[in-house]
Amino acid sequence: MNQNKRRSAIQLSDHFTFGRLMRFVIPSIVMMIFTSIYSVVDGLFVSNVVGKTPFAAVNLIMPFLMVFGGIGFMIGTGGSAVVARTLGMGERERANRIFSMLVWVAAALGAIFAAIGIIFLRPISIFLGAEGEVIDYCVRYGRIIMAALPMFILQNVFQSFLVTAERPKLGLYVTVAAGVANMIGDYLLVAVFRLGVEGAALATAFSQFVGGIIPLVYFIAPNRSLLRLTKAGLDLKVLLHTCTNGSSEMMSSISSSVVTMLYNTQLLKFAGEDGVAAFGAIMYVNFFFVAIFIGYAIGSAPIIGFNFGADNRMELRNIFKKSIIFNLGSGVLLAASAILLSGTLAGIFVGYDAELKALTTHGFHIYALSFLFCGLNIFGSSMFTALSNGLVSALISFLRTLVFQLLMVLLLPILFEIEGVWWSVVAAEVFSLAVTVFFVLKLRPKYEYF
């Protein structure tokens, strides 16, 4: 019975028709969408129940908090590529040792950075531009989130490894459980018991424990997946390769946070606290749309890594072609949807303030055009990670999420003021696509993906 179930499940070694590919990646896509939805819930409740100033404070401190989540994505994506390739080579026992070592290292790093973040959160808040009561809101929210950092990092690590273990649906179920916990927690702690930003932070922290503990228990216990946690020694060579290979994801997280901080600074200059609140609302909605591209990248990467390890170039070409079609089509659909729904989406967050809603809607009209290009850029970076080319992956990500965005958000507002801020992301994605296409064409003879 168990063997029959195992045969009927989609495996990394299968040939992927478009339908089979979608069935395999959809759990990861839904998982990331759900993650984005419950991430948005904090902002939704804080904005509508606690107020505009606490909402601005959460948006100021959030980029710093999200930097550390990048550790989980780095180890998860970089490590899953290494593990998937090792599985493709038929070395399952070694794959489990690598997987286990990376999980224990991730948990240890989470504990260390949590302690550092809690201690220095107040001066960091001031450095980010917080003043007066905004500082207190930043610290009260941030310290609770930092306390749950080890679980947040593990949650991000397991998102990738559950796909590699051929258990993407379990990853989805865990994310749904964590999301429901956060939503219920926000409703009870913020809306009912009126605990303010602390209530929102507690709800998020609890959801991160749910997202980290369930997969941890699953992999420790006997299971039918490809992976299981065991004792493992520290392999510095593999760890370095994992971090290098996954550096694009870490760079993306850090760069996104740094750039968001600069966006907030520019918006404070041109539109004050309302500008920060408007951008915060846009970014919450952006999480939802971009989650589709990220989810596809997470879901498809182990397939690419496995077939690269197995030297199955025909299947690599198959996955590449279907991935381009998916990201092009999704980009057009999402950009059109975002433009049409921008007023409604802005109203959900800041509908209580007509002027702020108008500012948010206008900004999102422009920002939505970036969805035409970002899916291809995200997939390009993810693909090279899966092919164990961390250098090219990191370069695409570094230019896309840091260099081009920093240049655009510094230069365009000089010419167009606040309009330049809204157009910065679109311009950065266009330049990034040129870089992605360059590397895809340049490295085609090496990997033969088309």
Q: Express each pLDDT in 54-107 by its tens digit.
A: 988 888 888 888 888 889 989 998 899 899 999 989 999 999 999 999 999 999
Position 33 scores a pLDDT of: 84
Asked if residue 2 belongs to a domain, the reply is no
- Closest to 177 measured CA to CA, from 155, 204, 210: 210
| Domain tally, the chain | 1
Best mean pLDDT range from 186-195, 257-266, 352-361: 186-195
Asked if residue 377 belongs to a domain, the reply is yes
Query: Is the pTM above the cut of 0.85?
Result: no
Asked if residue 7 belongs to a domain, the reply is no
Amino acid at site 117? G
Q: pLDDT for 136-158, tens place per residue?
A: 999 999 999 999 999 999 999 99
Asked if residue 1 belongs to a domain, the reply is no
Phi, psi of 57 (to 5 degrees): -65, -45
Of the listed ranges 137-141, 245-249, 320-324, 347-351, the one predicted with least confidence: 245-249
Residues 379-401 have a mean pLDDT of 91
Q: Which residue has the tokens 């107020």?
A: 51
> Alpha carbon of 439 to those of 381, 399, 444: distances in Å?
10, 13, 8
- Residue 15's H or E segment, with its range, is none
pLDDT band of 38, cuts 50, 70, 90: low
CA contacts within 13 A on the Cβ side of 100: 19
- CB contact set of 23 (below 8 Å; sequence gap of 6+): 10
Would the CA dihedral through 77, 283, 192, 31 be positive or negative?
negative
Output DSSP code: residue 370. Answer: G
Position 244 scores a pLDDT of: 87
As a whole number of angstroms, the distance between CA 266 and CA 123 comes to 21
Map residue 226 onto helix, strand or coil: coil
Q: pLDDT for 407-441, tens place per residue?
A: 999 999 999 988 999 999 999 999 999 999 999 99
pLDDT band of 6, cuts 50, 70, 90: very low
Asked if residue 95 belongs to a domain, the reply is yes
pLDDT band of 7, cuts 50, 70, 90: very low
- CB contact set of 12 (below 8 Å; sequence gap of 6+): 84, 87, 88, 164, 166, 302, 303, 306, 307
| Helix axes of 390-398 and 236-245: crossing angle, nearest 10 degrees | 40
- Closest to 440 measured CA to CA, from 327, 330, 340: 327
As a whole number of angstroms, the distance between CA 303 and CA 169 comes to 16
CA 357 to centroid of chain Cα atoms? 26
pLDDT band of 39, cuts 50, 70, 90: low
Position 375 scores a pLDDT of: 97
- Closest to 9 measured CA to CA, from 159, 169, 158: 169
Asked if residue 344 belongs to a domain, the reply is yes
Which domain covers residue 300, as residue numbers? 17-447
Asked if residue 10 belongs to a domain, the reply is no
Q: Exposed, middle or buried, 407 (CB in 10 Å: 0-12/13-18/19+)?
A: middle
Asked if residue 257 belongs to a domain, the reply is yes
Please state, rounded to an integer, the average pLDDT across all residues of the chain: 90
